[in-house]
Amino acid sequence: MKSKNLSIVIIGTLFLLLPALAQECHQQERPCAPQPFPWEQIQLTPEQREKIETIRTETRKIVIPLRSQIELEEIELEKEMKKEKPDRNKIMEHAKKIHDWKWQIEQANIEERLKIHSVLTPEQIEKLKTERFLHRNVIMPPRHIWTRDD
């Protein structure tokens, strides 16, 4: 009986503390999850915002099918790897397809950034460089060069 009551007290305490723990996580110097980049701080015009949204939508239309193809190809690769006698040529073919599609995604992301750059004024670009530097190096430590700030 005592262990049942103790369990109820522990579960109740955890239930009450979880919201506080989650809130504490967001108050730390490093947020728990990546935060979207504050585009408002570079003061986009409505036209710029619309152009950027169009660019991002077009990129997503390219990237989403590629990610699906990668996932399907990874399933085939895994299936081949699990065979008793895996075919080296098939494995290499699957790996090359996956690599090529990942490279296409990387190229699409680079192209997106270049197109967005062309929409911005020189002042906005400078502000963005400063904000990105602060965002990546103070708020969130750098992960890798081409991290998306969605």
In a domain, 8, yes or no: no
What's at 120, amino acid-wise?
Answer: L
> Which DSSP symbol is given to 37?
P
Domain count along the chain? 1
- Tell me which residue of 58, 93, 56, 50 sits closest to 73, measured CA to CA: 93
CATH number for position 86:
1.20.120
- Looking at every residue in the chain, the average pLDDT score rounds to 76
What is the phi-psi region of residue 43: left when phi exceeds 0, alpha when psi lies from -120 to 50, beta otherwise? left
In a domain, 41, yes or no: yes
In a domain, 144, yes or no: no
Q: Which residues contact 43 (CB under 8 A, 6 or more apart)?
A: 124
pLDDT in the model for residue 139? 41
How far is the C-alpha of 103 from the C-alpha of 70, rounded, in Å? 11
Mean pLDDT of 125-147: 58
In a domain, 3, yes or no: no
Residue-number span of the structural domain to which 95 is assigned: 34-139
pLDDT in the model for residue 83? 95
In a domain, 16, yes or no: no
Residue 92 pLDDT exceeds 60: yes
For the chain, what percent of residues have pLDDT higher than 70? 61
Q: Which residues contact 125 (CB under 8 A, 6 or more apart)?
A: 117
In a domain, 48, yes or no: yes
Residue 47 pLDDT exceeds 70: yes
Residue 31 pLDDT exceeds 60: no
What's at 87, amino acid-wise?
Answer: D
In a domain, 55, yes or no: yes
In a domain, 2, yes or no: no
